[in-house]
Structures are given as structure tokens and as C-alpha cells.
Structure 1
Amino acid sequence: MNRYRQALLTLLTLPFWQYAYAQDPGPRQQHAALRDMIEQFLHTQAAGLPGNASISVGAIDPRLNLAACPSPEAFFPAGSRAWGRTTVGVRCTAPASWTIYVPATVRVHGDYFVAAAPLAQGQTIGQNDIRKVKGDLTTQPAGVITDASQAIGRSLAISAPAGAALRQDTLRAQQAIQQGQTVRITTNGPGFRVSAEARALTNANEGQVVQARTASGQVVSGVARMGGIVEVTY
């Protein structure tokens, strides 16, 4: 009896933190399961990217002793995305509430286009002016060209040395129509095609909306195409 009494007295005189440590903490969250969930989350987020994504999830601090969570949720903190070096948050709301942040890297391997030779400012890009290369798109400048049609027929706003990655923000669409120019308005529909001459009221690049006045004085709007064509859709 004295032995049990001594044990009880000892427990009652322990500092609170030692008493708490002596209690059963319950099941703990496995870090490996969280890393697997983060990897799957990033694969889902990267599904629509222009290339093949490879994902590396960083280590979780082994000192983190988290309560087991039946439904942890992965999320992107503000400013993070599935591109290059990033951060993924994981939170739990029940039975315990906790949130952690884990570093990760998303590499996207795909095709992009570079200058095949030195290109001058204002030069219109042709098929032979560019070449396709493979690499990690996340290490390239924002807006790198991944489809040849994004570059061919456009002009350069700045010069580009051979091998330089082409970017959308450095390319300009060619002017398709000039103000005052005689244009041909075309309208297509089920089983018919109508065309008529008109005079352009504004300048327009390829793909931009332009207004033109017909011989009867009617003002119509359509999409500018190379060769002085205005496509009108009703």
C-alpha cells in the first residue's frame, strides 16, 4: 500500500509539463502520408501545363509531432502555384487543428522555341527563323513561346540573339489593315458565303476587331485578317 501511495504522491508533485508528457498522446500523423498527398495534389494542379511535370516534395521537419488527421487538406498559400520552386500548405481541422507548410519543386519538361539566328527588331518571323528545343519550361522567361503559330508572322519588338528564347511579350502582330484601305468583307453561314467591298475606318492587327463602311454607308465590325479581309459573323 505504501508503494502505491508513494507513486501517487510523486505523480501529484510532478510539474505540469512532465505530467502532460507522461500521458498517452494518441495516434500521430505519418509524415510520409502527407508527402504522398502533396505530390498527388501537385500532379493534379499541373495536369493542364504545356509539358510533362516532374514533382519533388521537400522533407517535413521530423520534430513536428502532429496529431493524426483523417482528412488533411492540401492548398496553395497566396502567391504559390504548381510552377518551379513552390510551397504547399496542409491543414487539419479535426480532431486537432494544425497547419504546416512544405517546400516542393515542379519542373515542366516540354518544347519551346528560340531564335535560329540573330533576329533584328521589327523583323517578321518566318518558319526558318525559329527552332524548337526541349527543356524545363519553369526556368525560362514568363510567356515563352511553346507553339510555332504564336511566333510565325509576327514581328519582333526587340532584337534577339541566336538561341534566345522567344517570348510573347516581345512579339507584335502584323498590321493586317490600314485606315482608309479598301477591304473585302466576308460573311459565312450555313450553305452561303457573301462578300463585298468596304473601306476600313481604323487600323487593325491580325485578329483584332476593325470597323469598315460599305458602299451603302453601313458600318460593320469584323475580325481583321491578312490580305485586307474582314470576317463578319452574325
Structure 2
Amino acid sequence: MKFLTFFNIAFRVLFGAGLVLGLVQTGAAQTDSSRWVTEAQLSELVDPALLPPGASVDVKFVKADERIGSLQCPAALFANTAGNKMWGRTYVRVQCVGSDTAPFFVGVDVKVWAPVLVVKGTIQSGQTLGLNDVEFRTMDLSQLSHGWVSDLAHLNNKTAARQLWPGTLLKHDYLRGQALVKNGDTVKVMMKGPGFAIGGTAVAMGEAELGEVVKIKTTQGKILHGVARDALLVEVSL
């Protein structure tokens, strides 16, 4: 018992100095490429590429595990596993330091708070959206479906693709960009192939924004598909 008490005290001193953490991370790297962190660093396991500007991450255990902090697991390090997304209700792997307890998993709840755009008033379909039509509201992104808008720049030259009600979370699917080509327009066509380019005209058989595919009908009656590159300009790859 005295030996165990002495070991716990010595371990806590070393752990507080960061020495044990470094040793465990070095050993873990040989068997697992995951990054090991302390409980206070759990938010660092969330992929930064998923976070919009101004986001804050909060990670809490779904349920306290009695092993952590006991003689079974005096100190614990945590890591994500390959292919697991640290988002919403998920889990992390636990590695105990100072005991021979086998690694195990615990559930965590990952909340990602960030400002996103919501509609302030009723917007009619086809209406241009301006800065006065939306406002930022901080929400937990882990509880939202994908496609939310968090940057005012996305409103540039955009109209509503459907009617939007006050308080509606603004999504990319609800916005329509300025059409460069509209159904029935006479468009210039640039047909490109290996080592050559041919110009001509055609009639658009649909609507397309920049970079979107549109069907066209040439003066010879041939139906082709091209990409809208500019106003009334379609590029066809042969």
C-alpha cells in the first residue's frame, strides 16, 4: 500500500510536468497513429477543417466512467480512431497511464457552436437576398443538417430558390445564383478538342449558373451539353 501511494504521488508529479505524457505519446505512436490528448484537450481531436470561422468546441463525457481517476486508471489519455468523425454523439479511445488496464472506449458528446445565418423576415421565391434580410445566430452545428451558410459573401448575386420564413436556417440549397444562360437564349459556343477550338452559336435549352452544365441545340439541330463559362457563353468539350 505504501509503495502504491508513493507511485501515485510520483506519477502525478511527473504527469503534471508533462514527462509521462510525452513518454506515453511516444510509445503510443508506435502502435497507433492517433493523437493522444488529456481530458482538457479533447476538443483538439475535432478536425479543424470542419470548423467555420468563430466556432468553439465543447466535448463532454456522455456518462462518467468510474475507472478513470481510480486505481484502475490513475490518469487517462484519449484518442480518436481512424474513420471516426468527432461530431455529435460519438466515442473516444482511453489509454490508462500508471496501470495495466486494457484500453477501452467511452462515449462523448461533441458540440460545435458557431454563428450561422438565419432569415429575419419572409423572403419570396426569386427575391434577391441582402444583408438586411439575414442575421447571425449561434447554433450547435452538430445538430444541424449539412449545407448551412456562415459567410455573408455567399449572398452575393443570390436569389431565394424557394419561399423562406422568418427564423429559417439559411442553406446553400435555398440560394440560387445569377443565371449566365437562360432557356431560349442564343449563346456563343466554343467547342474545344485536342489541338483545336471551333466557335459557333446555339440555343440554350435550360438555365445554368457559372460552371453548371446546360443543354444546347446547334443551328444544325444537334443536341450538345456544355458548361456555362460567362454570360451567354457555353464551352463544349469534344
* Range of TM-score over shorter length: 0.5 to 0.7
SS of the residue corresponding to residue 42 of structure 1 reads: helix
The offset of 1:47, in angstroms, is: 0.8
Identity of aligned residues (%): 19
Q: State the alpha-carbon separation in 1 of the partners of residues 131 and 92 from structure 2.
A: 46
The offset of 1:50, in angstroms, is: 0.7
Query: Could you report, residue by residue, the CA deviation over 1:168-227 in whole angstroms, capped at 9, with x for unpaired residues?
Result: 333445655345431123589xxxx98643222x31331421243555777654322674
Q: State the alpha-carbon separation in 2 of the partners of residues 125 and 171 from structure 1.
A: 9
Written as runs of structure 1 = structure 2, the 5 A alignment for 1:80-229 is 81-83=85-87, 85-92=88-95, 96-110=101-115, 112-120=116-124, 122-128=125-131, 130-138=133-141, 141-142=144-145, 143-151=147-155, 152-161=157-166, 163-172=167-176, 176-185=180-189, 196-200=200-204, 202-206=205-209, 207-215=211-219, 221-224=225-228, 227-229=231-233
SS of the residue corresponding to residue 38 of structure 2 reads: helix
SS of the residue corresponding to residue 158 of structure 2 reads: coil
Q: State the alpha-carbon separation in 2 of the partners of residues 167 and 208 from structure 1.
A: 19
Structure 1: give runs of 5+ residues left out of the alignment: 1-23
The offset of 1:167, in angstroms, is: 1.9
Rg larger in 1 or in 2? 1
SS of the residue corresponding to residue 148 of structure 2 reads: coil
Structure 2: give runs of 5+ residues left out of the alignment: 25-35
RMSD: 4.7
Contact 1:157 / 1:172 at 8 angstroms: preserved in 2?
no
How many matched pairs?
202
| TM-score of the aligned structures, taking structure 2 as reference length | 0.58
Identify if the C-alpha distance between structure 1 residues 55 and 76 changes in structure 2 by more than 3 Å, giving closer, same or farther.
farther
Tell whether 2:64 aligns with 1:53: no
**Aligned residue for 1:9?**
none
Q: State the alpha-carbon separation in 2 of the partners of residues 160 and 215 from structure 1.
A: 44
Contact 1:116 / 1:131 at 8 angstroms: preserved in 2?
yes
Contact 2:182 / 2:206 at 8 angstroms: preserved in 1?
yes
Tell whether 2:80 aligns with 1:75: yes
Contact 2:190 / 2:234 at 8 angstroms: preserved in 1?
yes
Q: Say which is worse superposed, 39-48 or 85-94, in terms of deviation.
A: 85-94
AA of the residue aligned to 2:112: R
